[in-house]
Structure 1
Amino acid sequence: MREGWDWETKNKVIANINEWKEKFIDIRELTPSPDGEKIAGIVQPETRKFTLCINGETWEELFDRMYSLKFNLDNEPICLGYADYQWNLIIGEKGETRWENTFDMAWNLTLSPDTKSIAINFRTPEMTQGVCLNDQPWENLFVEVRDVIMSPDGQRTASRVQINPRRELDIFWFYEKNYTIAVDGIPWDNSFMSIYGGVFSDDGNHVAVCVMTDLSKYTIAVDGKTWNKEFGGCWEPIFVPKSSDVIAPVQTQEGWTLAKNGDPIWPYFLQVWKQKFSPDGKKIAAVVALASGEWTVAIDGNPWKITFNQMVLDPHFSPDSKKVAAVVKHNNKWTIAVDGYPWETWFDNVWDPIFSPTGDKIAVRAEKDGKYFIVVDGKVSKEAYEWLWDPVFSPDGSKILVRCIKDGKYCRKVFSVNEI
């Protein structure tokens, strides 16, 4: 995909956003395409009317509401639009592709990893809810459908669903098991007091989720069957790559640990969560707390030697599985820590680390003193921007695509890594 992008032109001014601000009442969800060649925004050309503007060109059709603007990997915009009392999914640079199905309400627009599949939650005029995948709504509908869980191949969906309607003024309803998981619209036989954190296995044949079995008991359910142990708490599970085995953080009397199919596999910590497998499937990284205000990352149960007193966000493995990087917060400042070593420069805000294809470089966008910068391996770019989106490495890792707002204009810039 990235091989076909323009990696030679160093600077393109795509659109003047300041002119948009003068032309429209409001601009929302300003979003660049993956290749940086397009910038789209939901704009308000007149009171209570919305449309899409791409590179300064607006659609002719107006909508009463629009939101959830995204681009697929083919650089086509996708969003939800409301007109004539119906919500619909809209695809294409001119909005030329629409789903045949329309809805009373639509939300949680979700794309598969390859962006070929699209799913949403929807509500009907009869006040029932479901999931629609690629314009095919579930046949079974429910009182309430909370989210969209999509299989890695984009061919299946699941969601937390409410199977019993709330009884008015009946507070004891909340003590009953009114929730379950529906997979492709088919509910599990088992139900629970609460459900969260659902995920598909790699092959899309299994679903795991955190469940509340009693007022103070939690466990993991896989395909409707719970682990044979209950815990004081659980966080979101993940599947072992290419397997039906499940890993999840659980709270025991000894503390928090990672459990595999219900059995602890790590030492105990004050907290464990955000676990992630390496690309080769041989390592597990997770955020852990050694004590109050002592956050760090553990690899296969072994914590980094350094800790941070406020926050550590999700760990990220390099493509070769050899490095781990994470956003960290310490003394009200942010930076990136790599294999336990924080960058020397600290920022007011930092976004997720992005590894180069070979794993030898890390790029991020960061904020400092109200300006935004590209940072590579701790080195801050010479140029500051009014706004930035995540940088993108070229396929060989030698160049970086920068999508930015500079002097009120949306620009597409290409730098060699050594220029940063």
Structure 2
Amino acid sequence: MQLPDAWDWESGERTIMASTAPQEGHLWQEELQASPDGERFAAVTALDETTFSLRINDQTQEATYDKIWLPRFSPDGRLTALVQEDGEWTMLVEEEAWPGHYGYLWSTMFGPSGDIAAPAQQDGEYGMVLNGTPWETLYENANNYCISPAGGKTAAVVQTRSMGQADVATFQEGIYSVAVNGEAWPVNFVNCWTPVFSADGRRVAVQVRRNLHDYTIAVDGTPWTINYQCVWEPCFHPSSGGVAAPVRQNGMWGVALDGQMLWKARNAQCWNLRYSPDGSHLWAVVAPEYGMFTVSLDDTPWTFRAPVVTDMVLSPSGDRAAALASDNNTLWQVVVDGKPWRGTYDMAWQPVFSPDGTRVAARVERNGKYVVLLDGAPAAEAFDTAFDPVFSPDGRKLLLRGVRNGKAVRIVKQLQ
């Protein structure tokens, strides 16, 4: 499939589907999904009560299935869906199905290098399937699945020891570990959460619970020597390979790097660590005071505060950040560099930076209508359904995708 450099970036509006209503003879149709380039819109369509297919623009695939779930376009534009035949599930990529079938698949995952993966259950055991190849070893319990950004690897928290009902002693000895491509670390913990790959995919860090009271970070199976009251998801420094994580000491939260305090424990909460690409900056969502959140850059929080701050995203260089904030009463706003855009909305989605980091766009919804904001102002008329905006590689144009007046359209706007 084409990547952004090869997309059609000619300014103007094109109608991709003249009507998004179910096609003649179809019983019903699920919600549309848009490809990254806006050239294709897809949806599950019911041919009858027990037969389903995929509609792409105004065509319907010839293949039919007993069930179809979670149609999604990959970042490189391939249409995927989980499909069921004769009670078993597999992954459909465009019109080619993975060779194996499973008791169940869910939660399609995409890697930056083009990998497609999904958690799987087969005969009561759990693992992952990567590009159609399942783990050789499956486990009686697996969760917290992840995929390597470098490609070729998946990981998950797995249960390596069986435990009977109310078997507290075995649980406290440790029954969980991390499996990478199906191979478990030779060490167990009471609990593990959120395994994270390094950028090159060679290392994995994870939150662990060592006993009923002590938590720390383990890297490739080796835990830090320091224990904490609690920890959250770790992240790798992009160049040094060090591992940073939010940690709780004496009832307050800070950041530790390889087991040594980097940010003093002085926040009521701290999570969602993100390094800039060159590793010179570290960002996080923090609560300097109980119940009021903001974004912190190198341990210096924004002055902006809100009961909810989420979906933090960094500019390509990592020197700017944007996030969503809520008053905890269903109203949302977009915050960039600590300054909220005017207006509140019923819903908002993670902002998008331009390639040079100078501009920000975001999709918002109010009263059932969707608008794409550009630097805080509407970029076009409202849609009935909209998808996240996409900047052109040179940052001079903005692609909008959505449904308006029953038509699926793609709009390329020249930016001033």
Q: TM-score range by the shorter chain?
A: over 0.9
Partner of residue 72 from structure 1, selected from 74, 78, 93: 74
Match in the other structure for 1:123? 121
The 1-side partners of 2:89 and 2:137 are apart by 20
1:242 to 239, 243, 252: 239
Instruction: Look up the match of 1:279.
Output: 277
Does the 8 Å CA contact 2:213/2:229 hold for their aligned counterparts? Answer: yes
Q: Helix, strand or coil for the counterpart of 1:3?
A: helix
Secondary structure of 2:164 counterpart: coil
Aligned pairs (5 A) from 1:198-347: 198-253=195-250, 255-267=252-264, 268-308=266-306, 310-330=307-327, 332=329, 333-347=331-345
Which residue, 44, 51, 54 being the options, matches 1:52?
A: 54
The 5-angstrom pairing of residues 378-393 of structure 1 reads 378-393=376-391
Q: What is the Cα deviation at residue 358 of structure 1? A: 1.1
Structure 1 residue 26: Cα displacement: 3.5
> Helix, strand or coil for the counterpart of 1:265?
strand
Aligned alpha-carbon RMSD (Å): 1.9
Give the total of aligned pairs: 412
Amino acid at match of 1:102: H
SS at match of 1:146: strand
Partner of 1:102: 101
The answer to whether the 8 Å contact 1:122/1:132 transfers is: yes
Long gaps (5+) in structure 2: none
What CA distance in whole angstroms lies between the structure 1 residues aligned with 2:231 and 2:408? 43
> TM-score, normalised on structure 2?
0.94
- TM-score by length of structure 1 reads 0.93
Change (3 A) 1:223 1:17: farther
* Residue of structure 2 in register with 1:402 after alignment: 400
Q: Return the offset for 1:294.
A: 2.1
Range that drifts further, 66-75 or 150-159: 66-75
Q: Is 2:188 the counterpart of 1:186?
A: no
Distance 1:134 1:119 in 2: 6
Letter of the structure 2 residue corresponding to residue 336 of structure 1: V
Q: Secondary structure at the match of 2:22?
A: helix
The question of whether the paired residues in 1 share the 8 Å contact of 2:11 and 2:414 is answered with no
Tell me the equivalent position of 2:15: 13
Shift of 1:35: 0.6
The answer to whether the 8 A contact 2:311-2:323 is kept is yes
Matches of 1:331 and 1:200, distance apart in 2: 33
Shift of 1:124: 2.2
Q: Please list the CA deviations of residues 232-283 of structure 1 after superposition, one character each: whole Å capped at 9, or x if unmatched.
A: 1111111111333111101110510011111111132111011111122210
Shift of 1:170: 4.6
Q: Which amino acid aligns with 1:415?
A: K
Contact 2:312–2:350 (8 Å) recurs in 1: no
The one of 66, 82, 85 equivalent to 1:83 is 85
Distance 2:242 2:276 in 1: 16
Runs of 4+ in 1 over 3 A off after TM superposition: 21-26, 168-176
More displaced 10-residue stretch of structure 1: 368-377 or 11-20 = 11-20
Deviation at 1:207, TM superposition (A): 0.5
Indicate the residue corresponding to 1:134 in structure 2. Answer: 131
Give yes or no for contact 1:312–1:329 (8 Å, CA) kept in 2. Answer: yes
**SS in structure 1 of the partner of residue 267 of structure 2:** coil
Moved more, 4-13 or 178-187: 4-13
Distance 1:25 1:318 in 2: 44
CA distance in structure 1 between the partners assigned to 2:167 and 2:244 by the alignment = 37
Q: Distance in 2 between matches of 1:156 and 1:350?
A: 32
Q: Deviations over 1:358-406 (max 9, x none)?
A: 1111000111232111101111235111111000011111111100110
Counterparts of 1:382 and 1:90, CA distance in 2: 35
Residue 357 in structure 1 maps to residue 355 in structure 2: yes
Distance 1:68 1:154, change over 3 A: farther
Q: Is the 8 A contact 2:275 2:318 kept in 1?
A: no
Residue 412 of structure 1 aligns to which amino acid in structure 2? R
Paired with 2:349 and 2:229, the residues of 1 have a C-alpha distance of 32
- Distance change (3 Å), C-alpha of 1:338 and 1:74: closer
Aligned to 1:165, which of 144, 162, 167? 162
C-alpha contact (below 8 Å) 2:354/2:391 kept by paired residues: yes
The corresponding residue for 1:37 is 39
Q: Are 1:147 and 1:160, in contact at CA under 8 Å, matched by a contact in 2?
A: yes
Indicate the larger mover: 46-55 or 161-170.
161-170
The AA in structure 2 aligned to 1:75 is G
Shift of 1:9: 4.9
Residue identity in the other structure for 1:212: R
The residue type paired with residue 31 of structure 1 is: Q
> Structure 2 CA distance, aligned partners of 1:338 and 1:27?
37
Q: Deviations over 1:76-111 (max 9, x none)?
A: 21111110232122112xx1x222222222223211
